[in-house]
């Protein structure tokens, strides 16, 4: 029952629709926007409208700082990497005020990294409004890359290529919701564990993931939760709420806490 409650608790974010707003100003590689329902870490892109019939995506966008009192946010602006075609010319446009900013794009599609089939089925069956990309597809991608241990870059590349906005990672007692393209935590929720043994590197029906001879990602995981907890901490080192969660879960001498750069 607790896990079922968790599924519906998360449904607000699961059903997030794209948020469209106007770029207010630009300075170097950052800008500002104003819109409700924003979260730090949300990703998206910037669109240039040339006229009523012609427009183009010109840059990536990510929410970096959010003032919840005013709903105004600072965004990072970077080169757009959603479509790659080296045989075609690309524009050289720079983001400017009054361009359209679209955030939380593809958040209706998600990848769920879970320890076993019970956890996977429980969440996905209770949230049918989401288009769940089966982890078998991701496992096949990892086998092609030779990475039995998934890297953050693997998540980014796979989700970008397959238009997947959200990533869920199930820990022993926490469900993490991340932006799949930048690995930033959007929210956490309490989860319960059925105490079944975790599959390595995650629940999948793919029996074997090919490994490269050497290099990052080529070694095989020995345990499920520690690796993902560390990866999440390393890529969210300034997240105070996440630091508080980890501090409550582990002792102050835990090596995981050393991955954070948070002033108490």
**CA-CA distance, 162 to 139, in Å (whole number)?**
14
Q: Which pTM does this prediction carry?
A: 0.90
Give domain 18-103's CATH number out of 2.40.10, 2.40.128, 1.10.10, 2.60.40. Answer: 2.40.10
Percent of the chain scoring above 70 in pLDDT: 90
Domain boundaries, the chain: 2-12+107-259, 18-103
The residues near 63 (Cβ < 8 Å, ≥ 6 apart) are: 38, 39, 40, 41, 42, 43, 73, 74, 75, 103
How many C-beta neighbours within 10 Å does residue 199 have? 17
The residues near 248 (Cβ < 8 Å, ≥ 6 apart) are: none
For 146-166, write each residue's pLDDT tens digit. Answer: 999 999 999 999 999 999 999
For 224-234, write each residue's pLDDT tens digit. Answer: 999 999 999 99
Strand pairing report for 30-34 and 72-78: antiparallel
**CA-CA distance, 10 to 222, in Å (whole number)?**
30
């Amino acid at each position: 029952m607790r896990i079922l409650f968790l599924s519906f608790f998360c449904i607000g974010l699961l059903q997030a629709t794209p948020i469209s707003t106007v770029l207010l100003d630009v300075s170097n590689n950052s800008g500002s926007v104003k819109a409700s329902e924003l979260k730090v870490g949300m990703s998206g892109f910037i669109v240039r409208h040339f006229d009523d019939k012609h427009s183009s995506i010109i840059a990536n966008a990510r929410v970096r700082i959010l003032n919840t009192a005013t709903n105004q946010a600072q965004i990072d602006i970077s080169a757009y990497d959603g479509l790659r075609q080296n045989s075609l010319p690309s524009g050289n446009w720079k983001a400017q005020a009054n361009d359209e900013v679209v955030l939380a794009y593809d958040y209706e599609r998600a990848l769920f990294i879970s320890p076993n089939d019970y956890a996977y089925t429980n969440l996905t069956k209770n949230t049918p409004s989401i288009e769940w990309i089966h982890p078998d597809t991701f496992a096949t991608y990892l086998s092609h890359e030779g990475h039995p241990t998934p890297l953050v870059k693997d998540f980014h590349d796979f989700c970008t290529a397959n238009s997947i906005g959200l990533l869920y990672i199930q820990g022993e007692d926490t469900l993490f919701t991340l932006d799949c393209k930048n690995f930033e935590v959007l929210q956490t929720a309490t989860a319960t564990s059925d105490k079944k043994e975790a599959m390595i590197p995650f629940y999948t029906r793919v029996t074997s993931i090919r490994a490269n001879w050497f290099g990052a990602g080529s070694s095989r995981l020995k345990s499920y939760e520690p690796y993902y907890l560390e990866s999440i901490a390393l890529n969210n080192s300034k997240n105070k709420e996440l630091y508080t969660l980890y501090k409550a879960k582990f002792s102050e001498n835990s090596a995981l806490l050393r991955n954070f750069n948070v002033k108490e």
